[in-house]
Each structure stands twice: as C-alpha cells, then as structure tokens.
Amino acid sequence: MINFDKMIDNHVAREFRAKAIGRYYPSEIGSCLRKVWYSYKFPQEVEPALAKIFKLGDIMHDFVVDVLKSEKNSEVELLKSEVSLKKEHKDFLISGRLDDLILVKESGKSWIVEVKSTKNVDYVKKADPKHVMQLQFYMHAAGIHNGMVLYVDKTNLKSKIFPEQYSEEKAAEILERFSQLHSLLTQNLLPIAEAKKTEGMGWMCRYCEYEEKCGQNQT
C-alpha cells in the first residue's frame, strides 16, 4: 500500500535556501531576535511538521480569498491578494507579502488584511504582537493606514477580527528592530535571549528549534 503521510511530506517539502544577511522579513521581526539571528547563522531545513503547518496556512488563506471574492459578500471588494512589498532601509532590504487588500464599500476605505489560522479562535483574546508588528510594517510600506488581523479557526472556520490603526511610532520601532538585527548579524554579535528575558515571550522557547543551542549561551 502507499504511504500517504510520506506523500504529503514530499508534497509540502520546501526547497532549502539559506537566508542572506541584508534581506529581512516582516513575518519574523516580532519573534525572539536571538532565534532570528540563529536562523541566519545556523540555517536548518524546514521539518515536515512545520512545513505542514505552513501549508495549512496557505490553504486557509486561499479559503479567505474565496470568501472575500464571493458575490454573496457584496459589502467588500477584494482589490489585491498576496501583494509583494519591498522596502530599502539604510543598507538592507525588507521583503514581505501582505495577504489581502480589500475595499470596505460602506466607508470607502481600503484595508490590509493579515490572515492567520489558529487551533481555537475562542482563546484568541487579542492580536498577537508578532502579527501586529507584521501588519504595522505592511501599512507603513504600502501607505495604507487601516489594517486588521483576521484569525480563522482551522477546526470550524469561526473567526475574529482585530482592527489596527497605523502608528508612525510603532513603525519606527519596527524599523529600528530590523536595524538592530542587521547590526548584530553583520558584527557577528549574539543577541540576548529575548524570549527568556521578556515577559509574555517565554512560550516561544517551547517551540524553538534552537532551544538547545540557546541554552548553551546563557547571555
């Protein structure tokens, strides 16, 4: 008999490409800076379990696009989907892709929609700071100052929306965070164990592929 689990692993497997210092991604900047630093200095192939999670996210976004395009939902218009954004800042490049751009017809305003899947939307009480950072960068780079993080439950398709207004102050903080990452990478300086030392970030360590390496560097 065929091994369909193995077939899925083969299908979702991603080509391994080491990341280049000087090119950074909005989806990562809200994570622990030490983890991001490790991902440049000690790149690892994406494990099958994580590749499947990424694929489920893609499938969920495709579903959201279908909902936004549906003639049954005339209150919104999908203007663009999967929009590539690049911004040069100082001596490096920030490269990302916003999920969706919609027009809310009642207000006549355009909104950036950042789509995230979740195991149980009932436990989502506010937008994850990582996702807010990502959205704030997209609003800054696109010049569109209305955004929302949309969470969709993978088990029952229930959803929650968290609107986010653009903040110049937050955008400046995010750009400074990119600058800090670039400086640490180019000088080969290990960042502090941010997730271990920052309230509300400790949970990231449980899912970090560099947890053992990080534990060997107790700074």
Residue 147, H or E segment = strand 146-153
Neighbours of 193 (CB within 10 A): 19
In this prediction, residue 14 carries a pLDDT of 83
Q: Please, which contacts does 202-207 make with residues 24 or more away whose CB atoms are closer than 8 Å? A: 204/31, 204/32, 204/35, 205/32
CA pair distance 8, 11, nearest whole angstrom: 5
CA distances from 3 to 11, 14, 93 (A): 13, 19, 42
Give the model's confidence band at 158: pLDDT under 50 very low, under 70 low, under 90 confident, else very high: very high
Upper half-sphere CA count for residue 141 (Cβ side, 13 Å): 24
Residue of higher predicted confidence among 127 and 53:
127
218 falls in which pLDDT band (50, 70, 90)?
low
Mean pLDDT in residue range 72-88: 96
Is pLDDT of 66 > 90?
Answer: yes
Q: Which residues contact 172 (CB under 8 A, 6 or more apart)?
A: none
Identify the pLDDT of residue 219: 57
pTM attached to this predicted model: 0.92
Above 60 in pLDDT, residue 108? yes
- Residue 51's SS3 state is helix
